[in-house]
């Protein structure tokens, strides 16, 4: 398929964003300007974090968070096996070694029982602990962190939440009721690339609970330049800043966040209601989570049906995509230690992500649904 009519997940950008970007350009606020602190403040307020640092990508945010947390060569970092490769790459950039944690079936995210069992086993045997853990909130569904929070803190394991996909989601009930993914660990990160819940055409944000960590991340992400001294730097920093023009888009996207999320949630519910009678799942939906609806998916027990549905959608110019292959199947991470079994691989074999842009029309969604129905009923 060369140019799909209906894409998987596109940014919803309008005149307001265009005007904000144009205003930033006209005012000479390309690189620095008032939109950067405004975007950071809006995101921090939305997720309940004390502050935020805007950066050029979600991957940069993750790398910066890990470096600020002191992760470096020789360290071990645990990360969800089922994720986009950036989660693992950012760990590798630091020189640390990834250990992959298998998924649980309920949320598809890292299994807290596996994490807890391994920490307790190591504690009993006097073995070293990981320096950090990167739980990913896959497809915007919050990971099941509550059962392991105290244990991680007790053993000094820094939590760096990869909430790249999870802006607009919440935990529901329990100790984390109402909290936003990304706001619970020492660090959390978000992505604003083209397909995310909001987009700045490319961008990311880091939040941290400790103001000193935030200040350090801001410093390192801006080339570690010493203030008020020309070309003097006190560390190996990174050129990770977001431009003010991108932030101008972000400010408007944040104002529209609730509406964009409501649309994606409505789309997810329509898929669920259509797929249930067909015996298909429609993505993780744990009772303890209110997820943003990024991304919608269908779950096929039979891989052949998934392939047939994808071809049929393709033939009608509708983009769909399998979920990410787990890290254990990716060449750079194929030899990593794995904690747990093969749940992540099973999930990856069954899931097809479906169009769910906030501006997807009901007619367009009906086309997707009818195609799935047709293939499944004739299988």
Ligand X SMILES: Cc1ncc(COP(=O)(O)O)c(C=O)c1O
Considering only 54-62, 110-118, 239-247, 301-309, which stretch makes contact with ligand X by CB under 6 A?
54-62
Nearer to ligand X, 86 or 94 (CB): 86
The residues with which 97 forms a beta bridge, in sequence order, are 76
Residue of this chain nearest to ligand X (CB atom): 58
Considering only 51-59, 239-247, 288-296, 361-369, which stretch makes contact with ligand X by CB under 6 A?
51-59
Burial of 139 (0-12, 13-18, 19+ CB in 10 A): buried
How far apart (Å, rounded) are the C-alpha atoms in residues 221 and 61?
9
Which residues does 290 contact at the CB level (< 8 Å), separation at least 6?
A: 169, 170, 171, 172
Considering only 81-89, 95-103, 175-183, 342-350, which stretch makes contact with ligand X by CB under 6 A?
81-89
If one asks whether residue 135 binds ligand X (CB under 6 A), the answer comes out as no
If one asks whether residue 330 binds ligand X (CB under 6 A), the answer comes out as no
Interface pick for ligand X out of 146, 162, 213, 367 (rule CB under 6 A): 162
Considering only 57-65, 121-129, 292-300, 325-333, which stretch makes contact with ligand X by CB under 6 A?
57-65
Nearer to ligand X, 193 or 307 (CB): 193
How far apart (Å, rounded) are the C-alpha atoms in residues 184 and 47?
10
Residue reference for tokens 């071990």? 76
Interface pick for ligand X out of 142, 168, 197, 204 (rule CB under 6 A): 204
Q: From the CB of 201, what's the least distance to ligand X, in Å?
A: 11
Quote the tokens at residue 8.
Answer: 């998987």
Q: From the CB of 124, what's the least distance to ligand X, in Å?
A: 32
CA angle 188–189–193, rounded 5-degree value: 165
Nearer to ligand X, 246 or 280 (CB): 246
Interface pick for ligand X out of 144, 191, 253, 320 (rule CB under 6 A): 191
- Name residues contacting ligand X, limited to 265-324 (CB under 6 A): none
If one asks whether residue 87 binds ligand X (CB under 6 A), the answer comes out as yes
Total residues at interface with ligand X (CB under 6 A): 14
Q: From the CB of 89, what's the least distance to ligand X, in Å?
A: 9
Interface pick for ligand X out of 57, 183, 253, 282 (rule CB under 6 A): 57
Q: From the CB of 132, what's the least distance to ligand X, in Å?
A: 15
Question: Is the Cα torsion angle 11, 172, 84, 243 positive or negative in sign?
Answer: positive
Nearer to ligand X, 202 or 342 (CB): 202
Q: From the CB of 360, what's the least distance to ligand X, in Å?
A: 20
Which residues does 189 contact at the CB level (< 8 Å), separation at least 6?
A: 58, 61, 62, 65, 160, 161, 162, 163, 164, 182, 204, 205, 206, 207
Please enumerate, as own/partner, the contacts of 95-100 that have beta carbons within 8 Å and a separation of 24 or more: 96/66, 96/71, 96/72, 96/131, 96/132, 97/336, 98/327, 98/333, 98/336, 99/130, 99/336, 99/337, 99/338, 99/339, 100/326, 100/327, 100/328, 100/333, 100/336, 100/337, 100/338, 100/339
If one asks whether residue 165 binds ligand X (CB under 6 A), the answer comes out as yes
**Contact pattern from residue 88 through residue 117 relative to ligand X, giving x for each residue in contact according to CB under 6 A and a dash for the rest:** ------------------------------
Which residues does 275 contact at the CB level (< 8 Å), separation at least 6?
A: 281, 282, 298, 372
Nearer to ligand X, 136 or 351 (CB): 136
Interface pick for ligand X out of 133, 136, 298, 344 (rule CB under 6 A): 136
Q: Is 250 helix (H, G, I), strand (E, B) or coil?
A: helix
Residue of 362, 360, 370, 372 lying closest to 298 (CA atoms): 372
Residues of this chain that interact with ligand X (CB under 6 A) are: 57-59, 83-84, 86-87, 136, 162, 164-165, 191, 193, 204
């Amino acid at each position: 398929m060369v140019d799909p009519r209906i894409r998987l997940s596109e940014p919803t950008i309008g005149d307001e964003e265009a005007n904000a970007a144009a205003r930033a350009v006209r005012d000479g606020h390309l690189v620095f300007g008032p939109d950067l602190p405004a975007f950071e403040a809006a995101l921090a307020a939305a997720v309940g974090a004390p502050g935020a640092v805007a950066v050029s990508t979600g991957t940069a945010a993750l790398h910066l968070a890990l470096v600020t947390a002191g992760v470096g060569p020789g360290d071990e970092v645990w990360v969800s096996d089922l994720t986009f490769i950036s989660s693992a790459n950012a760990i590798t950039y630091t020189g640390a070694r990834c250990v992959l944690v298998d998924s649980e079936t309920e949320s598809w995210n890292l299994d807290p029982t596996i994490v807890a069992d391994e920490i307790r086993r190591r504690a009993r045997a006097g073995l070293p602990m990981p320096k950090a853990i990167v739980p990913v909130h896959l497809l915007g569904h919050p990971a099941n962190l509550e059962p392991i929070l105290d244990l991680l803190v007790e053993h000094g394991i820094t939590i760096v939440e990869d909430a790249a996909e999870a802006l607009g989601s919440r935990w529901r009930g329990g100790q984390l009721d109402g909290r936003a993914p990304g706001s619970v660990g020492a660090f959390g990160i978000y992505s604003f690339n083209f397909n995310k819940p909001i987009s700045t055409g490319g961008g990311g944000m880091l939040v941290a609970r400790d103001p000193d960590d935030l200040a350090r991340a801001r410093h390192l992400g801006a080339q570690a330049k010493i203030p008020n001294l020309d070309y003097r730097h006190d560390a190996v920093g990174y050129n990770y800043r977001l431009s003010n023009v991108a932030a101008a888009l972000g400010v408007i996207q944040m104002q529209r966040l609730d509406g964009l999320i409501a649309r994606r949630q409505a789309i997810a519910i329509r898929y669920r209601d259509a797929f249930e009678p067909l015996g298909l799942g429609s993505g993780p939906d744990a009772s303890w989570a209110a997820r943003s609806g990024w991304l919608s998916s269908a779950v096929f027990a039979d891989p052949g049906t998934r392939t047939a549905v994808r071809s049929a959608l393709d033939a009608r110019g509708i983009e769909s995509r399998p979920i990410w292959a787990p890290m254990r199947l990716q060449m750079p991470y194929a030899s990593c230690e794995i904690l747990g079994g093969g749940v992540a691989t099973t999930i990856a074999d069954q899931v097809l992500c479906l169009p769910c842009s906030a501006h997807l029309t009901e007619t367009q969604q009906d086309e997707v649904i009818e195609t799935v129905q047709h293939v499944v009923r004739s299988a």
